[in-house]
Amino acid sequence: MSSTTSAVGPELMIACDANIYGMNLKVASCKDIFRTLQKGDDEVIFADRKTTLPFDAPLPYRVQSPDGVCFIQVVLPPPKTQGRVSATQIGRAGFTIFDTCVKHYGYGGIAANIGGDNNLEVAIASYKPNVKCARNTFTRPLWRSCVDLFTLMRADRDIISFGQRKVEGVDVQLPFVIKSPDNRCQVKVDSTTPAPIFATFYELWEAVNSIAYMCVSRNEKGGKASKIGSASTMFLELSDENPDLAQIPVVPLALAANASAVEADLLSVGDAGQEFAVEEAAVSVEGARGSVHGSKSSQLLTMPQDFSKVTTA
């Protein structure tokens, strides 16, 4: 068995699982995430960005470490359609996973029953970004503009085909550009081969998210993410407004510009605010360690089927 599950108080539940959320997570990297999180008791409504229901912050929502190898993500498990949570609740649930799973066992995990309606889950997991920051090649975009970009862009998991303009029958033609509402953060998506590639906009969203945290939030210029898609031949380049991209077709954002305001307020990178302090974390718990068989990123953010309470001392 490769997972441990514990109860924290009457509701919060923690599951540590190396197969689903990764093993050998870097403690320092995961801890750095909490310097980015804001704290606050006002609850916001999270929902998938494709829904027609009202919400304050769109999912997926992910906060990455500056080196990109560890992240916290808010999860809305089906069949639930909305969930209410505060910034402080996200931070405390995340730190409880960090203290329980990452520090004690070296692997990621997930916390269930988060927020005012217990509909949400928070996970910590590993990630292997293929990102290279560019100090001289690209003009540095604005952090807030990049938050708008990865908050408002399409991010669904539908597998579709991408291909160069001379390739017939593909769903989306390459290259294309996605821009923030103010044009101060934009990403060019292209490939190194004319052959069709199968990928999802979720993969592109992950790449944009990674460059933003690994490069832009560290006051470096933009960057490039590569090895994307079925053949690992797609890449994207993130930069400030670039006249060289003026003739490339633009893929519209999935959401209206005002949908990113709340999500930006949950982050403190580049802003003066009340950052989440690790000393304010929830009480950690102990669990029995199981065998570890490795991790598969395709299974990330899926609650284990045998998720059940284990009483702890």
60 cis-preceded (ω within 30 degrees of 0) = yes
Q: How confident is the model at residue 203, as a pLDDT?
A: 97
Is 258 a residue whose pLDDT tops 80? no
- What pLDDT band is residue 35 in, cutting at 50, 70 and 90? confident
What is the mean pLDDT of the segment spanning 259-282? Answer: 53
Interval 49-103: pLDDT, tens? 998 888 889 999 999 999 999 999 999 998 999 999 999 999 999 999 999 999 9
> Crossing angle, helix 201-214 and helix 143-152, to 10 degrees?
160
> Which residue has 């938050």 as its token pair?
147
Q: How large is the average pLDDT for residues 19-46? A: 91
Task: Report the C-alpha gap between 17 and 148 in whole angstroms.
Answer: 32
Look at the alpha carbons of 158, 186, 136, 62 in this order and tell me if their dihedral is positive or negative: negative
158 pLDDT tier (thresholds 50, 70, 90): very high
Among the listed residues 197, 195, 257, the one whose alpha carbon sits nearest the alpha carbon of residue 229: 197
Nearest to 151 by CA among 177, 175, 178: 178
* CB 161 within 8 Å of CB 196: yes
Listed range (123-127, 271-275, 290-294) with the worst mean pLDDT: 290-294
Q: Which residue has the tokens 């399409």?
A: 154
Matching residue, tokens 């359609």? 81
**Quick one: 247 exposed, middle or buried, by C-beta within 10 A (0-12, 13-18, 19+)?**
exposed
pLDDT tens-place string over residues 111-129: 998 888 999 999 999 999 9
pLDDT at 266: 66
Residues 6 or more apart whose Cβ sits within 8 Å of residue 96: 8, 12, 14, 111, 281, 282, 283, 284, 285
What's the whole-model pTM score? 0.84
Is residue 304's pLDDT more than 50? no
- The residue-averaged pLDDT of 184-205 equals 95
Please give the biggest Cα pair distance in the chain: 64
pLDDT band at 218 (very low <50, low <70, confident <90, very high): confident
pLDDT computed for residue 39 by the predictor = 81
